[in-house]
Structure 1
């Protein structure tokens, strides 16, 4: 079976399409507003729809492909042909419904959000945000094993496995993005969601991080040197900055943790 994120040749084609979409919108790039890009992408998406590549891994088919499709659509929603854009918007799960919790559910929800944005459907965007995204942070209060937050603000995933700095890191990164981007709009998420996020990080995960070291949960994920992270904890930097803006009541606590990660000051308890 194809493992999540492992080399899969159709991804190379999608990544090239995504790179072209970015180049088309980036001032100073040699392909900025070059109509040849749109022609190429229209043809590429038509070809994708014809051959319908499929991975042996459900995650790639249901989530990975659609994450890339969504970015292409966001960059070029007003440029692509109707047929090409339909290839993109017909692929993601429209309702963001996934029979599970945690980060996999969040990926489904995000693709549904992207679809609503691409199609300019404000009512559906509100629906997905209220019915799906706001319930990512499920708190387990009984003795049933769930992919959920625990009462000590740690995160379980794949059964009774500690994943606060694995899927939990991805969840904190992505949820902080939406909380930040939607703040002060009619789509802003509730104070309850903001408080759950802050409790998860500041009353739980922060105690697994010391300077550039974080408890590595299962320990098999490498540092993301390709995006210039020098250590594992650095992936928290931007999400922490976002949450300082989103949750002003706990901004000072986020600042302390951020300084800890950056090594500005040694924090001891």
Structure 2
């Protein structure tokens, strides 16, 4: 399992305007072909499409993910509310650039650390040993399932990559996120195409989209530095039900130390 990468690292940091980055990767341009390769119409745009910030259907994903990669680290707090009113909050600090990409995430009384290719879950109820509460995520078992759910929520930023496969794209409202002015963009993502391209890997894969509608509406709030401040969407999953998600981004570029748990703290899950 790998953390979703937010585009290539930008060589020049602190650019003042959007529409000027050159991040590479699958999200660098909006797709205008179907999965089978048949040409399709470009995303429909609002008549009031902005021209001052340079964002468009063809560069929104690459611009935002590229700016995150340029910062290197950030925090995301995602709040998921089910149709029954249950609320789950996950707080994650991520490093997505360089040789030591990883994350630290907490939620539901559990903690996940991803360091390079290794993923560790802290849950003493699974190991049955309070002195050795950590386990390394394996391919199967309860430890793997609960840990992967937390890891997925921590990588909600990967959904931004789906904007490169937009059916429609328009400028939304001016809003304020944690006191910071932002412009919201409303993007209807073609889920089959985006998933097939791996544009949302880390949060939604092809298998994960099979029980979802073919389109997912993302509301992405962007600040004056072209950084995402908030991501809102609703997952209408035929299997697990409806879930409203609000993810808020902050702490861009701050120092982040990711340290795997010591061997003496790693146990074996009692439940597999």
What is the TM-score when the length of structure 2 is the normalising length? 0.23
By relative contact order (CA 8 Å, sep 6+), the higher-ranking structure is 2
Which structure would you say has the larger Rg?
Answer: 1
Which structure: greater strand fraction? 2
Name the one with the larger helix percent. Answer: 1
Structure-1-length-normalised TM-score: 0.23
